[in-house]
Each structure stands twice: as structure tokens, then as C-alpha cells.
Amino acid sequence: MNNQTNGHLPAFRAVITGHGSFAPTKLLTNDELAEMVDTSDEWITTRTGIKVRHITEDNESTAFLATEASKKALAEAKLDGRDLELIIVATITPEMVFPSTASFVQRALKAKKAWVFDLSAACSGFVYGLSIVQQFIESGRLNNALVIGAETLTKITDWTDRASCILFGDGAGAVVLQRKEDGRRGILYSTMHSDGNRWEALNCQAYGSRYPVSRELDDPKKIYMQIKGREVYQQAIRRIVETVKDCLDACDLSIDDLKMLVSHQMNARIIESAAKRLELPDEKVFININEYGNTSAASVPIAFDECVRKGKIKRGDIVLLVAFGAGLTWGANVIEF
Ligand code: UT7
């Protein structure tokens, strides 16, 4: 599905007026992982680009991370929780089965006016969320919204599985989007895709309705994330390349017009291979997986926030956010920041 304006400028644009991120203070290094499973700093670094990841303590939950990132985004937008009309939390590690993680964020931010929900699209959740808000703002139904990507993946990590435990980390990122009438700046284009036939490539199967907590599991590992790394690796490169090309075509942009590709941080080699195929120079590709690992829905907003804070993206620059993950799902947003 594409959110496109077919050459007509919409009356309203969804503009990012605030952004923030938050990661737990506790760190887990590759060397520490090498004491837990048969791996090494050298293997993890060369195969993934990851050096260290942030991990939550027992008392740090997804809603807590989401709220901390949101406070920063709201402060930058000079808005108060009470101003918010919509809160979306993209996550696959929610606070509870129900109510939504977003309900807890709403409570913490005193966002009484907002309607709120969680969005489950794994690593693509944040770009899906921006696309939804884009629709509501462009149609004039919404003045402002908060979109958050927040994860505590280390709580569903199998610390005995070296193929997956080295990959993931915890964190949150958030953006405030506001309706502006200047016609140019804002989300220019969004595209979203899914392929449910490949659900087995990445999953965490218990405890939902298929494997309820009341029934003994045939495989106790079903409570953890399971990945088919090679399949994901190949699909990710293919889908990122085709999605970025689609975005550039749809917006009539060239690589020269693009200031930065902010990709979901799943593996530095995946991002670099996709960038090479797109002939994107290194300085237009942001990578921070070395410090965070893969934080699923949180990874794009954390990377975006860092990119701006490091001065790599400035107001008026064209930025492309792209994500790929479980479902399978993938999607992108083109933003004139
Ligand atoms: O956001 C979406 C979620 N992300 C993903 O699903 C990850 C996508 N996939 C990947 O990033 C890569 O496929 C991995 C990093 C997971 C694996 O890298 P790879 O280059 O695809 O390695 P591989 O799976 O082909 O395994 C190569 C070897 C195997 O040994 P043999 O069979 O060649 O003897 C593995 O057993 O590396 C071994 N291996 C490890 N060795 C040391 C697998 N994990 C490890 C490890 N340390 N942690």
C-alpha cells in the first residue's frame, strides 16, 4: 500500500516537530556474550557490526522506555502530554497481553485527550505508524500525534542460542507529528508491505491463542524469539533495495536529493549490501547498530534521533526511513525534515 499524493500537494502535512530516544543504562558486550555461548567478539563484529547492546533490568518495562523517549520528543516539540490526540506504540514486546502498552504511556504522560493503541508489525512498526498518522493528518482529522517504537527484546531472548542472542537489544524512540499547512515539509510518501507466507522466518510463538499458557509446550523454546537468519538476511536486502527505489521513483527524487538513509538496524552487512546495490555513498547511510544491536520497532526512531542530534540531518533535508522485519513486513517513509 502506498500513501501518495499523485502530484497534488495535500492541504496539510504531517511534520516531525520533536524526537527523542532512550536506552537502558545496563550494557552487554560481545565479550560478555562470549562467556555465555560459543561465540566471539570477532565473529559478532564481522558478521553483524554489533559491539554492545543496552539491556533492561527486571524492573524496566517497555512502557517505561517508551515514556522516557516520549518525554524528550514532547519537550522538543514544546507540547505537553495533555495536548496529544493520538499515541501509537509500535512493539512486539508489549507491557502485557492487554491493555496496550500505549495505555500505560497515556497514563504516564497524562494524555487524557488521546486515543491510543499498540501496533504489531515487528521491525516495521514505526514506519507503519508514521504512515497511519500521515493519513489522519493529511485528511484533516488530527492535529498532533505521538508515534513510539519501544522494545524489551532481551526479555524474550534465548540466552543459550548463539544464532539469535547476539543480535538483540532494548530501547525506545519517539516522534511528535503535527499538522502544518506550509505544504512542503513533512512526510512526503509512505509505502507498506507484508508477506504472511514467510511468518516462520522470525517468530516468538508462545503464549498466544495457538500456544496458550494453560497448555504444555511441545518445544519449550517457543517462549523465545526464533530466527532463520539466512532467509531473513536475503529477503531484507532484496526488500530494502526495492522499497528505496520505489520511494525515489514515486517522489521523483534521485540519490543526490537524498541526505540520509535511516534503515532499521538489523545487521550492518545487510544495510551496507543494500546501500551498495543502490549506489548510495557511505556518508548517506546511517549505522548505529554497533551501540544498540537490533531493537526492532525502536531501531528506526533511535537511529533517526541520533542522526539529527549528530547534525547529520538538518531541517529541510530529505530523509528516507526504511524497515524490514517479522511478518514478514517492510515499508518506508520519505520525509522532508
Ligand atoms: O530485524 C530482523 C531480525 N534479524 C534477523 O533475523 C537477522 C538476519 N540475519 C543475520 O543477521 C545473519 O544471518 C546472522 C548474523 C544471524 C548470521 O550470519 P550469517 O553470516 O548468515 O551466518 P550463518 O547463519 O550462515 O552461519 C555461519 C556459521 C555457522 O557455522 P557453520 O555451519 O558454518 O559451521 C553457524 O553455526 O556461523 C555459526 N554461527 C556462529 N558462530 C559464532 C552462528 N551464530 C554464531 C555465533 N558465533 N553467534
227 close to ligand 1 (CB < 6 Angstrom):
yes
Pairing between strand 329-336 and 285-286?
Answer: unpaired
- Residue bearing the CA closest to ligand 1, atom 9: 229
Q: What is the pLDDT of residue 4?
A: 62
156 pLDDT above the threshold of 60: yes
Distance CA 161, CA 170 (A): 18
- Provide the mean pLDDT of the chain: 96
Cβ contacts of 326 within 8 Å, gap of 6 or more: 92, 122, 123, 199, 201, 202, 203
pLDDT digits (tens, 9 = 90+) for 47-104: 999 999 999 999 999 999 999 999 999 999 999 999 999 999 999 999 999 999 999 9
* pLDDT beyond 90 at 2: no
| Domains in the chain: ranges and CATH | 1-337 (3.40.47.10)
Q: For the whole prediction, is pTM greater than 0.85? A: yes
CA angle 90, 91, 96 (to 5 degrees): 125
Q: Which of 230, 271, 294, 330 should be mutated for ligand 1, with most atoms under 8 A from CB?
A: 230
Q: What confidence category does residue 326 fall into, taking pLDDT thresholds of 50, 70 and 90? A: very high
Cα 307-5-313 angle, rounded to 5 deg? 10
pLDDT tens-place string over residues 255-306: 999 999 999 999 999 999 999 999 999 999 999 999 999 999 999 999 999 9
Helix axes 125-138, 299-309, angle to 10 degrees: 80
Closest residue by CA, ligand 1 atom 21: 230
- Please report, in angstroms and rounded to a whole number, the separation of the first and last CA atoms in the chain: 23
Q: How confident is residue 3, by pLDDT bands cut at 50, 70 and 90?
A: low
CB 55 within 8 A of CB 169: yes
Ligand 1 pocket residue status of 203, Cβ below 6 Å:
no
| Closest C-alpha to ligand 1, atom 14 | 229
